């Protein structure tokens, strides 16, 4: 199963990493690597994480790493990373 990143998710990840990099370049690298490790592990057991309650679709799930929520959609032949969302933000802004 292939991992695909939407343009929006990739852009949000870059923004989060830039924000972290201001205070700690080494933490920015670590967070980037761990987010990618998490994404790369999803094909093993895609249903491992809970359904995203703000999107209300059983194929859309989320995993949280530190204060970053990775929202992904399980497709027939792939997993799409659709959002990289800071948990400190209002979840009502998750609407696609």
Domains of the chain plus CATH, in order, are 2-87 (3.30.2310.20)
pLDDT of residue 55: 85
Angle between helices 7-23 and 25-41 (to 10 degrees): 150
pLDDT of residue 91: 67
CB atoms within 10 A of CB 7: 7
Low-confidence stretches of the chain (pLDDT < 50) are none
Question: What span, in angstroms and rounded, lies between the C-alpha atoms of 81 and 10?
Answer: 8
Question: pTM of the full predicted structure?
Answer: 0.90
Pairing of strands 68-74, 78-86: antiparallel
Question: What span, in angstroms and rounded, lies between the C-alpha atoms of 82 and 61?
Answer: 10
pLDDT of residue 22: 96
pLDDT of residue 95: 59
pLDDT of residue 54: 84
């Amino acid at each position: 199963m292939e991992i695909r990143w939407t343009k929006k998710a990739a852009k949000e990840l870059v923004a989060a990493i830039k924000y972290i990099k201001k205070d700690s370049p080494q933490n920015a690298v670590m967070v980037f690597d761990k987010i990618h490790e998490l994404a790369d592990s999803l094909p093993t057991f895609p249903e491992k994480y809970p359904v995203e309650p703000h999107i209300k679709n059983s194929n859309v799930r989320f995993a949280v790493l530190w204060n970053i929520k990775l929202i992904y959609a399980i497709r027939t032949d792939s997993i799409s990373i659709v959002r990289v969302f800071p948990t400190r933000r209002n979840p009502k802004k998750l609407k696609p």
